[in-house]
Structure 1
Amino acid sequence: MHSLNADLHCHSTASDGSLTPGELASRAREGGVRLWSLTDHDELVAQHEARAAAESLGLAYVSGVEVSVTFIGETVHILGFGFDPDDEAFAAGLAALRAGRADRAREMGESLAAAGIPGAYEGALALAPNPDLVSRTHFARFLVENGHCANVHEVFTRFLKEGKPGFVPHRWASLGEAVRWITGAGGVAAIAHPARYRFSPNEEFALFSEFQGHGGRAVEVTCGSHFPDEVKRYAETALEFGLMASRGSDFHAPGESRTPLGTLPDLPPGVTPLWTVWADTLEGRRSPRPGEPGALAAATAAA
């Protein structure tokens, strides 16, 4: 099942994407995707809409989310798949996390104003779905639209990374909390785009070890921000830690994301694809349901 065109990482207007769940489902289907997941940041509100849109197009869907975590002072993202989007404990944890985003966004606006860019908070807020979901991406789009930078990449380089105006550190969920929220709701947790984190080898080993210890089951091996050597490296890491391998474009917006939905290369040989968890339902051309019997047992057997 390595060649299955699965795209298990993208964002809609419910967080920091520019397209609705329905528009994303259509793009995924047009791109040849067979298994899709919408993984908005710290938000589950669009999950039912995404599933309905996918299934109306004959596209298999699995629930998804991207949870913000602080680990050794670095922001790490943990993907969750196949959980119950109506789980109350999970929803409560994410609501508390989103409240912290609002405070950080106001501080980012103050920092940019002090650097000579007034109105950034208000501009980013106008581009976000609600005050609790204002992200760095919304600030970046505001700065591009107002001529401060040529593109989003330049914004992150000049303004929004550590040591630059507009960067504000924040304490997100702990790694254990994120994994427990996901698994407690019947899902499977995966480390997103691991090559993006600025960890030493020892720190990265600690991340994977602790993640596995909390019940994490997978790592995103093939993704929109990984180069071929990084894909190879994290395939080896997946094997080292007995983790399944996931695949996702991390698509946010046309013209902004370098990898369109459905265009990723296959997973490298040797790894166990995450979607073996849902193999029985996929073969029957039906979307996996949250907490479906046998799903977690299949994951344990495959890893």
Structure 2
Amino acid sequence: MSVGGPVSDPHPLAGVLAGVHADSCPGELNFHCHTLCSDGSLTPERLGEQAVALGLRHLAVTDHHSTAALAPLRLWLAAQAERGAAVPTLWSGVEISCLLEGCLVHVLALGFDETSAEASAALTPYRQGSAPVGEALRAAEVVRRIHAAGGLALLAHPARYRLPFARLISAAAALGMDGGEAWYDYAMQPRWQPTPLVCESIAAQLDDLGLLRSCGTDTHGLALHGR
């Protein structure tokens, strides 16, 4: 596993992300959502209920600087599976604030190792409930630590920042990020839909750079199918 660049061996999540398309979210895949463990409105269990009701195949909860929702959600999904329910594959996740090109951006850490002490130590600055300071705030350091934890680093909602998304994606690629959030509802509609043109442009740039594409509702409210 690389420490400073993209993961060198195929990551188990990479194959899933390779199939992401404009219609994957919100009913099939969701790699960006929040709970009460950061600034969301759903308990982990209630989010799990909605994920099952939607028929999601893969899910990652990405609370800001917290992984507290992961354990209770994993337990809840396991209990439902024991009862015979179809449940999504749950991937570890956390949303991290950092500086890229002097711009404050968010990076999604996905699929990192939850079990090893080494991985836990690598992500310690980003699990304290608030944004890191100092060296840990630099995007290069965020990427390094995510990879050290066995995860993938993806630039969240590239078109929501003060700098052009094309510049930020190029900078992210140069630092070794593994991909970006290609499909996102910038209009924040009641039911999630990818924003035309901008999402297609982001997806095309990611493809050109050989990067992975993700999608997610970025849910903060009470409905997992919207924001």
Task: Flag the structure with higher helix content.
Answer: 1
Of 53-62 and 15-24, more deviation after overlay is shown by: 53-62
- Equivalent residue number for residue 28 of structure 1: 51
- Equivalent residue number for residue 155 of structure 1: none
Offset at residue 50 of structure 1 (A): 2.2
* 1:51–1:62 contact (8 Å) kept in structure 2: no
Q: Deviations over 1:133-154 (max 9, x none)?
A: xxxxxxxxxxxxxxxxxxxxxx
TM-score, length-scaled by structure 2: 0.73
Offset at residue 7 of structure 1 (A): 0.5
Change (3 A) 1:100 1:94: closer
- Is 2:162 the partner of 1:198? yes
TM-score, length-scaled by structure 1: 0.56
Change (3 A) 1:100 1:250: same
What is the SS of the residue equivalent to 2:214? strand
Q: Which amino acid aligns with 2:101?
A: I
In structure 2, the gaps of 5 or more residues are 1-18, 81-86, 187-193
Q: Which amino acid aligns with 2:171?
A: E
2:209 to 232, 241, 244: 241
* 2:64–2:130 contact (8 Å) kept in structure 1: no
Offset at residue 73 of structure 1 (A): 3.5
- Equivalent residue number for residue 101 of structure 2: 72
Offset at residue 262 of structure 1 (A): 4.6
Q: Percent identity?
A: 32
1:179 to 143, 159, 182: 143
CA distance in 2, matches of 1:17, 1:263: 12
Offset at residue 248 of structure 1 (A): 0.3
1:30-179 alignment to 2 at 5 Å?
30-57=53-80, 58-86=87-115, 87-95=119-127, 98=130, 173-179=137-143
Offset at residue 97 of structure 1 (A): 7.5
CA distance in 2, matches of 1:18, 1:171: 31
* 1:66–1:78 contact (8 Å) kept in structure 2: yes
Report the count of equivalent residues.
188
- Is 2:195 the partner of 1:227? yes
Q: Deviations over 1:268-287 (max 9, x none)?
A: xxxxxxxxxxxxxxxxxxxx
CA distance in 2, matches of 1:239, 1:215: 15
- Equivalent residue number for residue 152 of structure 2: 188
Asked which structure has the greater CA Rg, the reply is: 1
Offset at residue 237 of structure 1 (A): 1.2
Change (3 A) 1:73 1:212: closer
Task: Flag the structure with higher strand content.
Answer: 2
- Equivalent residue number for residue 218 of structure 1: 179
* 2:38–2:66 contact (8 Å) kept in structure 1: yes
CA distance in 1, matches of 2:173, 2:42: 34
CA distance in 1, matches of 2:180, 2:49: 26
Change (3 A) 1:197 1:62: same
Change (3 A) 1:97 1:241: farther
CA distance in 1, matches of 2:42, 2:171: 35
Q: Which amino acid aligns with 1:68?
A: S
Offset at residue 214 of structure 1 (A): 2.9
Offset at residue 38 of structure 1 (A): 0.4
Q: Which amino acid aligns with 1:93?
A: P
Offset at residue 263 of structure 1 (A): 6.8
